Structure 1
Amino acid sequence: MLRLRSERPSPTQRMLCYSAARRRIRHGDLLLFPYRGLPGRLIAAAGRSPYSHAALAAWWQGRLMVLEVRQFRGGRAVLFSNLVRRGPIDVFAADAEGRGFDRRRAVGHMFGYTGRAYGWRALLRCALVHAPLLRWCLRPKCDDADAPANGATGDLPPFCSMAVAAAVRAGGVDPVPQLADRWTEPGDLARSRFFRYRFTVVADGTGEAI
């Protein structure tokens, strides 16, 4: 399995309306959602990024879908066109360095999370490492050596970025080396060399696209 170094990106934002961006999004690309509201702001701040949610793009019978594990909803597949009406979505190309990545396997793994519960317990454990004092007692694991090579999370329901990291690893690449899937946050995915920012998608008719 490939392991890639991580670095902090500084992308120049490029806005595209949904109709212009739709066909440029590939099966297995990373989708990151800028924070909205106080809970999202806290998640983004903890991860040192503007993002509070992560998902994968998938094409299914000509429809562009978002595969995600979302709070209060669990794992699900939703039309991209419906989600983008609620706010902008940043698209990151997967396999930015052409290292070899099985997109179909990664997406298939992510589909496996549909219908599963949201990983509140896993999220709480991840959040505790940012808490004062507790951060000195809880140290996140730096590797997935004790996790199955196929990205399985076992009986522990995942949260959003944990599911994405596990799915990408199932596709043959560890997107965030030196950090186990269950400790991976949206900001960690944004900083991974495996992904490259492409553009920000906004709803048709919003007047924000160029």
Structure 2
Amino acid sequence: MNSSQQRLGDQVTHFKGRAISSKLEPGLVHIINISDISASGIIDYTNLKTADLTEKQYSRYLLEERDVLIASKGTVKKVAVYEQQNYPTIASANITILRPNDTIRGYYIKLFLDSKEGRRQLDKADNGQSVINLSTDSLLDIKIPSVPLVKQDYMISRYLQGLGDFQRKISRAKQEWQRIQDDINRQLF
């Protein structure tokens, strides 16, 4: 491991997501909840809940491309990176958002936090007993290896390419499995 490390909090700005009342009418603002993030950190943008909020009510919570979303409450530690959507999107209150500065990439933070060492440090930041309760101060105190942006970009590129390949293979495997099941059902009846 690279011996040079920096405190995560020195490389990001951070904020909590917005508390959303269940009584709000559906609207233009899309909300990412912990349940919209898979255990592997993929955000499902297809079924996000929406809320009717004024710009004043949501503008300070508005997500930006490559923001890192970390489940700070719940039962599963989840780390995801937000990809820009063509509608206003915010995160719910049980998600901590890290906005990288110009020395670090959001996906690099995710790669580190998903590593064994990153998970160990996330575990230390967790004050919960049976459910997760990540301390924001402890999260920001996590030490992350200092890596030049060009190397971060290379790692991210390999990760995203591998993830894309993985998702395509899973999709093809599911299609093939469905074809086999359909074929067997046709033979049964």
Superposed pair shares fold, TM > 0.5: no
Q: Please give the range of the TM-score, normalised by the shorter of the 2 chains.
A: under 0.3
**TM-score, normalisation: structure 1:** 0.25
**TM-score, normalisation: structure 2:** 0.26
> Is the radius of gyration larger for structure 1 or structure 2?
2
